[in-house]
Amino acid sequence: MHQFIESYGVLNWALPILIVSLGGLMRGFAGFGATLIMVPLLSLLMPPSEAVFIALSIDTLVMAPMFTRAAQKAEWGLVIPLAVGSFLATPFGVWFLVITSPDTLRLIISSLIIISALFLLSGWTYKGERSVFLSFLIGVFSGTTNSAAGIGGPPIAAYFVAKGLSPVRLRASLNSIAFFMEGISAITIYFVSDFKMHNLIIVLILLPFMSLTAIIGSALFKNFDNTIFNKLILYFLILFGIYIIYATLRLH
């Protein structure tokens, strides 16, 4: 059992609370990127497979109250084929998560974090036709990476940005697809893994902190341009991903 749940000491809980609070700000403010922040940071405190499960579970529960409002403004012509592709790819991603060693997962997750952040910082957008089949393929890719590493948002975010959606519709669409994608992944991971009750306890204890900061992030979204905030977060993730790779390799 993890150190911070064994003792229930304030200091032991400080880091996970801070991590999920940052994830909540990102979820409420940008509509994506919560697990992009939480997974690599939580993986330093626990096995990566548990970090992925906890991050996906908390994010899904936080999004649940937002879903009804988001669904009214989402671009469902894009969301539905993405959701179907993600659903079908989830078992493969979970299988990879379960069979891969913790250190290998840390290296893969960190590498994907760096690549995803660089991809989003590049500003590249897809200019071609957005067919149902293409949306399905992107859903397959995102569903696999989401289940294996908790990182399914960046490809979808870039795809939606290229569509030229308004900030409100973009955020609503991202929240809608993430709710389906992450919820299915979290449920699948739980039932195919040997997780114990303490994993659910951690989720329930951390949930209020992410919920609160998600509300704060949503309020900030209404009044501020999120461009600078998102870029700072992405730069931070690149540096942190490099650090995790260095720290993991140094142990061998």
pLDDT at 84: 93
Separation between Cα atoms, residue 157 and residue 163, nearest integer Å: 10
pLDDT at 133: 87
DSSP for 62-76, please give it: HHHHHHHHHHHHS-H
pLDDT at 1: 44
Task: Round to the nearest angstrom and report the end-to-end CA distance of the chain.
Answer: 24
Angle value at C-alpha 49, between 115 and 30, nearest 5 degrees: 50
State which residues of the chain have pLDDT below 50. Answer: 1
174 token code pair:
């991202």
